[in-house]
């Protein structure tokens, strides 16, 4: 069973084969067994299958081909809308229009998202997370018609794999695990922990293709640039405000 | 295999039995196969086993007994510290001192957290998330000595179960799944979706014990109050600022 977790890889190319509704429901239902704060289940999942909707969603994800290629896209949202409506119908005054409540709901949504992904993989499907969701939450809100109280935090494409990619590298466990207290890094330990990653042929090729000196520069200068991060931080904070989480 | 996911329940009482280091490493290693943005792995996991550390951590979690009762507590953190150090040693200028980068790292940490939990459950252990982590991130930072760039976002206790709790209720799938577009709720649909939850004996008892009229009021007036949420929102935003994610 641990093999499902340890042998996995993200799948970006899918067969032209639909996912049966019954199977999808089974997977989504497994997701709903994830822990949520106070069992409030303050999340929602929007399922995209329709070709027209995929067309609309695609630019929100910078036209990465997975959206149109996969039979199903799932958008996981932090969602206090349903819970707030329930409270108001039950003579209870909700106090969830603040940043802490956004984080509570985002955590719910992300634990469910990962459970759904693992359930899908256990059922023989391939998945891929699209990090673009936090950049264009404002546009996704329009496309999926998300009301106040709802913010998308994870997008996943889902389908039967049509590729057999190599498993990508990970840092050694010592890079991410600290015992008892945070054991901060030294220049030597950083060198040691990144040595294998930097030595891999695919990563060396990545540096060369991008005309950079180091792999780190590919991240800072090409993939995840300061100016972009600052721009999208502003967009995302505006989204939280508009959706009622910064009152 | 899906049984691990569908039959699970949170475990709050643990046997006085340690978790072997080899097993813990296997579980943590499975966690590191979770997807992360750009394979940056901008998270860290602090393992607490030491009795003295548990004593210090316990009040951060409002003295919930699981911390002292469980052999292992895991604190999952959004972490750009290691990545930033690597960049700076590689002549690359990191631009990750902003809100978007905090979200990127928090998402990484939460997907890893849930993968670790599922791996633990697949290996016969019980887990429980402690929602208190986002309330007292400032104190946890002190106890675990977390440097700038690191913010705790999930705490999980881990051990061999010493109880057999009933599985708690969940809303029907229709309450959390929307097809193609967000299908907002009506008064009737809210009544319908919460009917089963409100009819359960344990939830009725919960209303009575708390001297409330409705189950929703137990949440708004007792468990997750507006004033507390507002207070802890301020604390958490101050933490993001202090840890360098709101520049």
Give pLDDT, residue B26: 98
Give the whole-angstrom CA distance, residue A32 versus residue A109.
Answer: 10
One digit per residue, the tens of pLDDT, for chain A of length 247 reads 799 999 999 999 999 999 999 999 999 999 999 999 999 999 999 999 999 999 999 999 999 999 999 999 999 999 999 999 999 999 999 999 999 999 999 999 999 999 999 999 999 999 999 999 999 999 999 999 999 999 999 999 999 999 999 999 999 999 999 999 999 999 999 999 999 999 999 999 999 999 999 999 999 999 999 999 999 999 999 999 999 999 9
Q: What is the DSSP letter of A224?
A: S
Residue of B77, B167, B177 for testing the chain A interface, max A β-carbons within 10 Å: B177
Residue B200: which residues within 8 A CB-CB, separation 6 or more? B169
Give pLDDT, residue B43: 98
**Strand B177-179 vs strand A43-48: parallel, antiparallel, or unpaired?**
parallel
Give pLDDT tens digits for B97-145. Answer: 999 999 999 999 999 999 999 999 999 999 999 999 999 999 999 999 9
Contact: A30, B101; criterion CB under 8 Å: no
For residue B114, what is the nearest residue in chain A, using CA coordinates?
A: A111
Contact: B95, A229; criterion CB under 8 Å: yes
How far B61 CA lies from chain A's nearest CA (Å)? 14
CB B170 within 8 Å of CB A33 = yes
Residue B134: which residues within 8 A CB-CB, separation 6 or more? A100, A103, A104, A107, B153, B232, B236
Looking at domain B3-166, its CATH superfamily turns out to be: NADH Oxidase (3.40.109.10)
Contact: A173, B53; criterion CB under 8 Å: no
Give pLDDT, residue A4: 93
Task: Give residue limits of the domains in chain B.
Answer: 3-166
The CATH class given to the A2-166 domain equals: alpha beta
ipTM surpassing 0.95: yes
Collect the ranges in chain B with pLDDT lower than 70. Answer: 1
Q: What is the helix, strand, coil percentage profile of chain A, to 5?
A: 55, 15, 35
Say yes or no: B178 contacts chain A, CB-CB below 8 A: yes
Residue A95: which residues within 8 A CB-CB, separation 6 or more? A101, B220, B224, B225, B226, B227, B229, B230
Give the whole-angstrom CA distance, residue A241 versus residue A155.
Answer: 21
For A124-153, the DSSP string reads T-EEEE-GGGGTSHHHHHHHHTPPTTEEEE
Say yes or no: A201 contacts chain B, CB-CB below 8 A: no
Please give the structure tokens belonging to residue A88: 């108001």
Contact: B86, A190; criterion CB under 8 Å: yes
**Sign of the dihedral defined by the CA atoms of residues A53, A59, A65, A66, in that order:** negative
Give pLDDT, residue B153: 98
Please give the structure tokens belonging to residue A179: 């015992």
Give pLDDT, residue A43: 98
How far A214 CA lies from chain B's nearest CA (Å)? 6
Give pLDDT, residue B23: 98
For residue B235, what is the nearest residue in chain A, using CA coordinates?
A: A100
Contact: B216, A90; criterion CB under 8 Å: yes
Pick A46's closest partner by Cβ from B47, B79, B178: B178
Phi-psi region of A168 (alpha: psi -120 to 50; beta: other; left: phi over 0): beta
Give pLDDT, residue A118: 98
Please give the structure tokens belonging to residue A149: 């109280």
């Amino acid at each position: 069973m641990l093999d499902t977790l340890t042998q996995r890889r993200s799948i970006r190319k899918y067969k032209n084969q639909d996912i049966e509704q019954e199977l999808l429901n089974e997977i989504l239902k497994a997701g709903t067994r994830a822990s949520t704060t106070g069992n409030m289940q303050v999340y929602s999942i929007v399922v995209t299958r329709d070709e027209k909707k995929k067309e609309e969603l695609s630019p929100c994800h910078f036209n990465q081909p997975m959206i149109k290629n996969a039979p199903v896209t799932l958008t996981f949202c932090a969602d206090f809308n349903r819970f707030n409506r329930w409270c108001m119908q039950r003579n209870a005054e909700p106090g969830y229009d603040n940043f802490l409540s956004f984080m509570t709901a985002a955590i719910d949504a992300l634990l469910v998202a990962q459970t759904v992904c693992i359930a899908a993989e256990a059922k023989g499907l391939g998945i891929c997370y699209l990090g673009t969701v936090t950049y264009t939450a404002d546009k996704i809100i329009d496309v999926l018609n998300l009301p106040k109280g709802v913010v998308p935090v994870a997008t996943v494409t889902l389908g039967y794999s049509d590729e057999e990619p190599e498993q990508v590298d990970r840092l050694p466990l010592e890079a991410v695990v600290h015992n008892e207290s945070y054991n901060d890094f030294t220049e030597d330990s950083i060198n040691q922990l990144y040595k294998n990653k930097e030595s891999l042929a695919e990563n060396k090729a990545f540096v060369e293709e991008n005309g950079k000196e180091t792999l780190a520069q590919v991240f800072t200068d090409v993939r995840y640039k300061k100016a972009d991060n600052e721009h999208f931080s502003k967009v995302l904070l505006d989204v939280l405000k508009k959706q009622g989480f910064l009152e």
